[in-house]
């Protein structure tokens, strides 16, 4: 079947190249764990992974919580019906509006000459005096959040839809307070979905590259993806084998993410059928 | 608050894009972008990549999904796993693999535009394939096939004159989603050194002030249009999540 030929040539084979060359000595061609061990001892690469993980955790939590509250408010907050459909449309657009144009939109908003920076200055707050920079950790986090929270809205909405009215009515009849309803009914049911979605958000941020490159020029923030980009331009690591190991490491992290997501999604489906 | 977060960056970009002429607001930045020879090469190039990706994707995935449903349901799991694999391999890692695999003899095809289209087909595969598969689930593939066969139709006729029209909506929403993805894609085009819209914006950011703002707005309008069309033709809201950040 042509599909398998295609998948093999352009997906499986290039991916397996990364894996095979990770475990192959670039000079002798023999099996080796050298590249992986080098990676684990290289402070520059480990730092890049750590930064990627930090920003992914921060934006997955932030985007996850914000996205969940937004989705819940629009679905169950007693707001008119059109709020929900417009939120879904916005989320579809915003989660797609990423990469280079997104980076520029935030440059226009929050760079030293940006619009919001100017507005805040006019009321006496100079954010750049308070140590904020768009081009570093928190700045990049704010930009990532722009595609993180809409994604959360889109993937958590079905779970919120699955919360049945009967449950809140039943718990009210049994004399439960709103807090108790959340603590003992809604939260335990939603927890696997929320965790699963946040894991997906983590992966989404972890693999992000274009946004970071456009914003920082690839210099002030050394994310794992940026290290791979630099390695591809020219052998910055000074060791081709290490480059494969860095790429391989990312695939490992993403695989863990997808497996975790699948497991949690299965758990979530038990209640939300 | 969500609305503010959503609109403020766009508002800032839009206002900024109008300031190309000193002292008053104008659409000068937009006319500059449209008349830029670079834009006139790279924007249509992206449209071409997107169209080829869609055609290639449809021709490849519709028969596959159809065949799996009709004849070999035991292949469903492996095929679905393959179509989800691009989620596991981030774009930059993927292009790293492509370049390293295909930049040495005997597989020296790294400069071929075909590789870029193949790469885009892979990136859009999770959305395209799932969209098509959802469409096929909604129709009775077996009955339609048998009916067509008993009327004497060959496989080509069945696929193109029976199955295709019945899942037109799914194919179209997959197509517009793929279009939005390819038009905004940076990583693959940049590292395979092919002209495209997103790398062009990146270049503008480095060299110009107001023009990248105009290009950003153009790109946003494009995404909005794609999503709007998907909604109008009746695609589900679930299908509109993409990657490529």
How far away is chain A from the Cα of B50, in angstroms, using its nearest Cα? Answer: 15
Coil, strand or helix: which one is A31? strand
How far away is chain A from the Cα of B140, in angstroms, using its nearest Cα? Answer: 23
HEC letters along A35-75: HHHHHHHCHHHHHHHHHHHHHHHHHHHHHHHHHHHHHHHHH
* Distances in whole angstroms, Cα of residue A211 to Cα of each of A103, A126, B129: 6, 25, 26
Q: Is the pLDDT of residue A86 over 60?
A: yes
Confidence class for position B243, pLDDT limits 50, 70, 90: very low
Per-residue confidence (pLDDT) for residue B245, from 0 to 100 = 55
Per-residue confidence (pLDDT) for residue A59, from 0 to 100 = 93
pTM of the model: 0.84
Per-residue confidence (pLDDT) for residue A103, from 0 to 100 = 85
Residues of A in contact with B95 (CB under 8 A): 232
Residues of B in contact with A210 (CB under 8 A): 91, 186-187, 198, 202, 244-245
Decide if B81 contacts A217 (C-beta within 8 A): no
The string of pLDDT tens digits covering residues A151-186 is: 898 888 888 888 888 888 888 888 888 888 888 888
In angstroms, rounded to a whole number, what is the distance separating the alpha carbons of residues A156 and A190? Answer: 9
Top-confidence residue, B111 or A62: A62
Mean pLDDT, rounded, of chain B = 84
Structure tokens at B188: 């693959």
Of A2, A97, A108, the CB nearest to B16: A108
Contact A93 B224 (CB under 8 A): yes
In angstroms, rounded to a whole number, what is the distance separating the alpha carbons of residues A33 and A35? Answer: 6
How far away is chain B from the Cα of A94, in angstroms, using its nearest Cα? Answer: 7
Q: Is the pLDDT of residue A131 over 80?
A: no
* Residue B217: closest C-alpha in chain A: A101
Per-residue confidence (pLDDT) for residue B238, from 0 to 100 = 45
Structure tokens at B42: 């790279």
Q: Is the pLDDT of residue A135 over 90?
A: no
The string of pLDDT tens digits covering residues B135-193 is: 888 888 888 888 898 998 888 888 888 888 888 888 988 898 899 889 888 888 888 88
Coil, strand or helix: which one is A24? strand
The string of pLDDT tens digits covering residues A44-74 is: 888 889 999 999 999 999 999 999 998 888 8
Per-residue confidence (pLDDT) for residue A163, from 0 to 100 = 82
Lowest mean pLDDT segment, chosen from A183-197, A223-237, B155-169: A223-237
Contact A96 B238 (CB under 8 A): no
Confidence class for position A21, pLDDT limits 50, 70, 90: confident
> How many Cβ contacts (< 8 angstroms) between chains A and B?
225
Quote the Cα angle for A15-A17-A18, to 5°: 70
Of B191, B201, B238, the CB nearest to A101: B201
B129, burial (CB in 10 Å: exposed 0-12, middle 13-18, buried 19+)? buried
The string of pLDDT tens digits covering residues B47-72 is: 999 999 999 999 999 999 999 988 88
Residues of B in contact with A103 (CB under 8 A): 205
Per-residue confidence (pLDDT) for residue B2, from 0 to 100 = 66
In angstroms, rounded to a whole number, what is the distance separating the alpha carbons of residues A217 and A140? Answer: 12
The string of pLDDT tens digits covering residues B123-132 is: 999 889 988 9
Mean pLDDT, rounded, of chain A = 83
Residues of A in contact with B212 (CB under 8 A): 104
The string of pLDDT tens digits covering residues B181-240 is: 898 888 888 888 889 888 898 888 888 878 888 888 888 888 888 888 888 886 554 444
Of B198, B237, B241, the CB nearest to A100: B198
- Compute the Cα dihedral for A163, A166, A169, A173 and give only its sign: negative
Name every residue whose Cβ is closer than 8 Å to that of residue A148 and which is 6 or more positions away in sequence.
Answer: A59, A60, A62, A63, A64, A67, A201, A204, A205
Per-residue confidence (pLDDT) for residue A218, from 0 to 100 = 63
Residues of B in contact with A101 (CB under 8 A): 184, 198, 201, 215-216, 219-220
Of B13, B102, B245, the CB nearest to A99: B245
Buried b / exposed e over A83-100, threshold 16 CB at 10 Å, is ebeebbbbbbbbbbbbbb
Residues of A in contact with B5 (CB under 8 A): 145-146, 149
Q: Is the pLDDT of residue A81 over 90?
A: no
Per-residue confidence (pLDDT) for residue A16, from 0 to 100 = 84
Peptide bond connecting B106 to the previous residue in cis, omega within 30 degrees of 0: yes
How far away is chain A from the Cα of B63, in angstroms, using its nearest Cα? Answer: 9
């Amino acid at each position: 079947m042509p599909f398998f030929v295609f998948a093999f040539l352009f997906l499986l084979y290039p991916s397996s190249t990364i894996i095979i060359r990770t475990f192959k000595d670039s000079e002798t061609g023999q099996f080796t764990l050298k590249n992986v061990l080098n990676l684990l001892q290289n402070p520059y690469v480990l730092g890049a992974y750590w930064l990627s993980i930090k920003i992914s955790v921060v934006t997955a939590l932030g985007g996850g919580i914000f996205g969940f509250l937004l989705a819940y408010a629009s679905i169950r907050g007693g707001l008119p019906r059109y709020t929900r459909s417009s939120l879904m449309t916005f989320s579809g657009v915003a989660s797609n509006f990423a990469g280079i144009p997104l980076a520029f939109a935030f440059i226009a908003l929050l760079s030293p000459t940006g619009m919001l920076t100017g507005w805040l200055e006019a009321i006496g707050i100079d954010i750049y005096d308070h140590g904020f920079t768009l081009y570093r950790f928190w700045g990049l986090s704010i930009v990532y959040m722009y595609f993180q929270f809409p994604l959360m809205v889109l993937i958590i909405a079905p779970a919120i839809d699955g919360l049945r009215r009967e449950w809140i009515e039943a718990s009210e009849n049994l004399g439960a307070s709103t807090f108790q309803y959340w603590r003992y009914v809604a939260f335990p049911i939603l927890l696997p979905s929320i965790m699963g979605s946040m894991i997906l958000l983590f992966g989404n941020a972890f693999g992000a590259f274009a946004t970071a490159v456009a914003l920082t020029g690839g210099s002030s923030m050394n994310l794992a993806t940026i290290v791979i980009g630099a390695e591809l331009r020219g052998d910055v690591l000074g060791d081709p084998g290490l480059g494969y190991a860095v790429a391989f490491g990312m695939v490992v992290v993403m695989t863990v993410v997808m497996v975790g997501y699948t497991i949690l999604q299965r758990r979530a489906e038990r209640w939300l059928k | 608050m969500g609305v503010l977060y959503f609109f403020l960056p766009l508002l800032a970009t839009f206002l900024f894009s109008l300031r190309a002429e000193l002292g008053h607001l104008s659409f000068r930045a937009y006319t500059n972008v449209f008349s830029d020879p670079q834009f006139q090469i790279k924007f249509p190039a992206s449209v071409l990549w997107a169209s080829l990706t869609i055609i290639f994707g449809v021709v490849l995935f519709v028969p596959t999904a159809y065949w799996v449903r009709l004849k070999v349901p035991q292949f469903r799991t492996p095929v679905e796993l393959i179509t989800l694999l691009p989620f596991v391999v981030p774009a930059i890692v993927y292009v790293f693999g492509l370049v390293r695999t295909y930049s040495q003899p005997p597989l020296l095809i790294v400069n071929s535009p075909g590789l870029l289209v193949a790469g885009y087909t892979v990136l859009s595969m999770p959305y395209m394939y799932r969209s098509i598969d959802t469409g096929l689930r909604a129709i009775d593939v077996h009955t339609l096939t048998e009916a067509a066969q008993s009327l004497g139709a060959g496989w080509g006729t069945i696929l193109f004159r029976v199955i295709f029209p019945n899942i037109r909506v799914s194919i179209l929403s997959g197509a517009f989603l793929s279009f939005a993805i390819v038009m905004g894609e940076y990583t693959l085009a940049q590292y395979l050194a092919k002209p495209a819209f997103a790398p062009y914006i990146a270049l503008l950011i480095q060299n110009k002030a107001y023009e990248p703002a105009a290009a950003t707005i153009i790109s946003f309008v494009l995404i909005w249009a794609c999503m709007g069309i998907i909604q109008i033709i009746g695609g589900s809201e679930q299908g509109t999540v993409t990657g490529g950040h």
